[in-house]
């Protein structure tokens, strides 16, 4: 693909439900990142994956958040028992290597009602 | 923890003028500093990356400076155009050990270029 893609583009869910957000990085990029952008706030780092190394989960806000990356490519961010404060735009990015420029997807807008 | 401040939330300038955006940070100096552009409803788009041992970097009408003594980066857009209107984000990468690749973003400066 030409760029990073994310699905769905919009997700409305009820409080307490689980959601899965998907990211397809640029082919060949070894590093994949998840960020969260709340209204009026800056991008907040959540987690990143680099190759086959253990992911850096230090930015995940609670144990309701988890992510996996299968086959070194597609990644899924899962939020369990969603809360209203989880409402935000979730952005995925990939880069050829750590420390290089990052290419962002269009984001998934999550609304928890 | 790292704190990043971008000079103002909004900057309005006339077409043709030079826009200057400021990014100040506290605590440790980053190994890399990046600038991104974000349009409404879209993900950020990478513009420039500057390393701690570089003072200045240019790309077409864009120029970035990096002063590790002042803990500041300046981002300039010369001969600005209405199409340059967007939010510009500063992002820092500590670039060391386990934090390499982890970007800390400022809240951004919304630039409006009027004809």
pLDDT in tens, B2-52: 688 887 778 999 999 999 999 999 877 788 899 999 999 999 999 999 998
Cβ of A56 and B49 within 8 Å?
no
Give the separation between CA A44 and CA B82, rounded to whole angstroms.
29
For B34, the closest chain A residue by CA position comes to: A101
The answer to whether residues A21 and A31 touch, using CB atoms and an 8 Å cutoff, is: no
**Mean pLDDT per 10-residue run, chain A (113 residues)?**
90 98 94 91 89 83 93 92 97 89 96 97
Q: Can you tell me the distance from the alpha carbon of B25 to that of B71, in angstroms, rounded to the nearest whole number?
A: 6
- Which pairs from B16-21 meet CB under 8 Å and 24+ separation? B16/B79, B16/B80, B17/B80, B18/B76, B18/B77, B18/B78, B18/B79, B18/B80, B19/B76, B19/B77, B19/B80, B19/B84, B19/B111, B19/B113, B20/B74, B20/B75, B20/B76, B21/B74, B21/B75, B21/B76, B21/B88, B21/B90, B21/B109, B21/B111
Q: List, as ranges, residues 13-42 from A with C-beta within 8 Å of B.
A: 31, 33, 35, 40-42
Strands B86-93 and B32-38: antiparallel
Pairing of strands B109-114, B10-14: parallel
The pLDDT score that the predictor gives to residue A15 is: 97
Out of A47-56, B40-49, B72-81, B84-93, least confident range:
A47-56
B100:A42 CB<8 A: no
Shortest distance between the Cα of A27 and any Cα of chain B, in A, equals: 18
A50 near B CB under 8 A: yes
């Amino acid at each position: 693909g030409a760029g990073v893609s994310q699905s769905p583009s919009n997700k409305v869910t009820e409080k307490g439900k689980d959601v899965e957000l998907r990211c397809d990085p640029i082919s060949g990029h070894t590093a994949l990142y998840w960020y969260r952008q709340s209204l009026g706030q800056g991008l907040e780092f959540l987690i990143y994956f680099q190759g086959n190394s253990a992911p850096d989960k230090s930015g995940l806000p609670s144990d309701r958040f988890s992510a996996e990356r299968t086959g070194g490519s597609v990644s899924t961010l899962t939020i369990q028992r969603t809360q209203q404060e989880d409402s935000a735009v979730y952005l995925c990015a990939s880069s050829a290597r750590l420390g290089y420029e990052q290419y962002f997807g269009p984001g998934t807008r999550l609304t928890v009602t | 923890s790292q704190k990043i401040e971008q000079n103002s939330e909004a900057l309005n300038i006339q077409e043709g003028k030079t826009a200057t955006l400021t990014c100040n940070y506290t605590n440790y100096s980053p190994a890399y500093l990046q600038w991104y552009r974000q349009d409404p409803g879209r993900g950020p788009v990478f513009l420039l990356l500057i390393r701690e041992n570089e003072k200045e970097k240019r790309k077409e009408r864009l120029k970035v400076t990096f002063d590790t003594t002042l803990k500041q980066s300046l981002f300039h857009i010369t001969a600005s155009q209405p199409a340059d209107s967007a939010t510009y984000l500063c992002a820092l990468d500590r670039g060391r050990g386990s934090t390499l690749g982890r970007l800390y973003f400022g809240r951004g400066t919304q630039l409006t270029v009027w004809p």
